[in-house]
Amino acid sequence: MDRITIAHGAGGVVMQSLIKDFILKNLSWGNAEVPLEALDDAAVVDGIVIKSDSYTVKPLFFPGGDIGRLAVSGTVNDISMLGAEPVALAMGFVLEEGFPLSDFERIILSIRQTCIEADVFVATGDTKVVERGALDKFIINSSGIGRRHAALDYNLSVVRRYRNLETRWLLDSNIRPGDKIIVSGTIGDHGIAILSSREGYGFDTVIKSDVAPLNKMVKKALEVGGVVAMKDPTRGGLSNALNEWSQKSGVGLYIKEEKIPIREGVRAACEMLGIDPLEVGNEGKAIIAVVPHMAEAVLEAIRETPEGRDAEIIGEATDKYEHVVLETIVGGRRLLPPPIGDPVPRIC
């Protein structure tokens, strides 16, 4: 394989190998508290949380959101997942010549609305235009900086009542046997909403994307305390996020399939298309690992927020297995492997 394929950008094992063989190999020497090679949701340098994501979603407008809402939410969420408060965003726009100004304005207004919702602002930006045919309409890069969350030290002090924890941030490598795994709501909504809004798919029910900033929900969880890790299951879905946790923390994860909340319409669409909903990307969901004694209290606090009302405890970390093991609805057990790619390309 000597050329870039769609799978290289799909959040699964092919993308991981591209990142390791080309990017980490050549670029990971920086003196960061949470460095590039951690491949976590964001990096930490001199106490500043920093994150960058490019958005190539197709179509630009979809049920429940648009590329602007997605760009703000994605960056806010990645920064939040480390236990930080997002402070400011930097937005890079790349437009195709001929793009309607009315659509551009609609997206700017959506960015505005989502920033207000998340209590962040755009501090700087950049606009580039390429000639017709050189780009499919519009790409946004959204970068952001964040500060250590006011409630993070309290949260970690609660963790330390129960066990040792060396890190100062909520990292993918923090999980230990016994920790409970919460998912903040229904899985697969975003990817299926994108898919269903593309031409040629005629589903009975309109599935709306879950795209939303999660920083207010995260705040509630940290104020309860006991959270050891958080991750937003975007490209590669729940399946990829859980496997990253298992691998980086060196623990098994035992997940009960029947506890994973999935909307009926999403389940039906996935069955029709032969897609595993656990591999479908989400843009308004988090998985949250909590020390056992605090899991119910964190779950309750999350359920009181609009973004977390369908939250469930879906399983726990264990030293009985080395990977992610799914207890299926029919009672069997199967390995949940990391996805190779993403069943739905260009969802973010």
Touching a second copy, residues 50-89 (CB under 8 A): 50-56, 58, 87-88
For a second copy, the binding residues in 88-127 under the rule CB under 8 A are 88, 90-102, 104-105, 108-109, 111-112, 115, 121-127
Our CB check for a second copy shows the closer of 13 and 88 to be 88
Sign of the CA dihedral running 122, 128, 133, 134: negative
For a second copy, the binding residues in 144-203 under the rule CB under 8 A are 145, 147
Query: Rule CB under 8 A: is residue 129 a binding residue for a second copy?
Result: yes
For a second copy, the binding residues in 290-329 under the rule CB under 8 A are none
Neighbouring residues of 277: CB distance < 8 A, sequence distance ≥ 6: 187, 188, 192, 237, 262, 266, 267, 270
Q: Cα–Cα distance between 228 and 182 in angstroms, integer?
A: 12
For a second copy, the binding residues in 218-247 under the rule CB under 8 A are none
Our CB check for a second copy shows the closer of 4 and 330 to be 4
Q: Cα–Cα distance between 326 and 238 in angstroms, integer?
A: 12
Query: Rule CB under 8 A: is residue 139 a binding residue for a second copy?
Result: yes
Q: Residues 2, 166, 199, 204: which binds a second copy (CB under 8 A)?
A: 2
Q: Which residues pair with 146 in a beta bridge?
A: 49, 86
Q: Which range touches a second copy (CB under 8 A), out of 37-45, 162-170, 217-225, 324-332?
A: 37-45
Give 290's Cβ-side CA count (13 Å radius).
Answer: 32
Q: Max alpha carbon distance in the chain (Å)?
A: 59
Q: Cα–Cα distance between 81 and 77 in angstroms, integer?
A: 6
Task: Name the minimum Å distance from CB 272 to a second copy.
Answer: 23
Query: Rule CB under 8 A: is residue 330 a binding residue for a second copy?
Result: no
